[in-house]
Chains A and B, each alone.
Chain A
């Protein structure tokens, strides 16, 4: 580790792009499922959630990475939780100030970013052992992978459940309702989110055969 690494060395780039597909935090590592399911009934809260997680994860990763040699191993979980909780309070205050409606819609799930397993998992597995810049890229990469899944899920749930995309009434504009089409209200309910994630995993694994679980 003596020689100096360039900012976008292959190893650093891998921690940025890996989480998008093969190491995706949601559908491969099964982390951060709670917000994935709970905030995806519409696109706007989903995107706000993805951005909040990105802010907390990348900054938290850098802070923990800077502190990594001074944290005593026995109390590291408490230290990590404190750093994350402080960042989440900041994010919560910013959301309440600038996008109040969305923050009301997300309700307790902003606070639950603290216990989002993606954040704890990355702090523990990556930031505790790597340099700040690599940890920053890892944070951005993982939250992009997370946001990617959130956007796919919320797109389908909002389109099929309410006939809109980011609040824009698509189905009404193309005149689908006049042909007798009815929105599927179940899409915006809890169970369909789980089933859609199941289907997403199915599609993803049929292209990535090495991820298939043995019996």
Chain B
């Protein structure tokens, strides 16, 4: 019965879903003229979602309820600005033929205050083919995988006794240290200073711009660089280079220089107390906490330059304390809010630092890499380089390349890799719930942020904007104060909104997602029929979320970069918003790039992540269960979960509305 269930029933269900998705597209209607009156206000549109059929002629009349606004429809790239100058029209009209199907974000293109960058709505041109076909594709991939694996398992079980699955765990590698100039550069004692120097200068410029530049985010280099950098980090730096950012990160630089008492040299004695980090905190729970703390205030950081400025100052000064108390880069490894997710996703990166031959290290008595010698410091990340089998906590500081007297460290470009599947340090340590919860935090927020910042949901935006926002309505209720010249747009703290947003961020990441996830784990455990601890399954399978949550962030990042990247062109000429024109680009208009291609890039990324998550599920199942049949059965609920998440991400980005 169980066999038949898997063989026929599941593919059948999946096929039915596919067909029903497709049939939605069959309904065709005659093109008509569709007219909408959209009222813009700080910061949203009414209505915020408009639906038309393909071929319809769309007429949008834009009005404003308060200040000057505009509308720009990404993908159709039509828009208008409604500047409420006295004597000018108080209504603007755009007309176009909705010939492209899909969901299109429209946004305000006239700066209208703090939440202006997130003043968005959705135009949905039905039938939404990109969404329908990409969802169907995801369902098909899941179906094909299950059928294919089921077939293979039957074949395997018929060939009893043959050790088919002893696949050699090798993958393609190329040691970058074979290239002499690279090796020489990395071996330079001043290597770290050289890569940190430009980034620390930029960092200080950003702090200066945040405090002294214009508070209008899109015209302030500080604000733009911080957020475009975050997007770039997620889109390219981490997926391609893992922790290369950590290599040149300016935040711990001051602390490390003080701790070492030198900028470029190797000192014998280090300053500070040099304490060891408490064993109880030898996990990334603190990083989960700091990341969630920042996330709680994302609505403030993402809309106010001074908040960005203070954040940068804190991130530059706070690490110094930890460098003075503890040994090495305790800040980076255990506390830094950025480091947590960079480490998590670096495990997918095609760059790794590993010992060339572990046997050599085992025999080598000196262990210079953890003791340090005259050429370099002991691993500041408290790793034992020969035991590295995951990228997670190797900061690529290159000290071990300098200290190893046997030249036994390699910096590999790689294809593949097993970081997600294995226990740290070749099994000498165990994976814990801390990393599992990091994946929940990242997976959840990738969706929550997309809904808040790009979705058409005004209520979410006003909750996130718990400082100020509609505050002047509640704080300055007496007109006489206005006449007396009291500033009307003072910031005020809205405790109800804060409480709801706090609950949303912490509740969704720490309760809802883990809760849903544990249902699938329970199903998986039941399906496998094996006696295995729930906790072990819970932890092991959490790594399968990493690829698909990374692509959810990448889909977000590519959106931010293509839509808002052009602000940077104007801002390099006028970094402080003081009216300069350094390179003649100060008047470059906001121009979203490649809006026609954007949804397809996102679809490609999301589907790719889904495939990688399926692969990870397969690998982890096989390593968790001794029996192949159990492994296969256990993986099916997980595949269902990944399919569900992928469909959700597709729904958010390509479907337009939840």
- Whether A and B are associated in the same complex: the answer reads no
- A contacts, CB < 8 Å to B: none
Interface residues of B (CB under 8 A from A): none
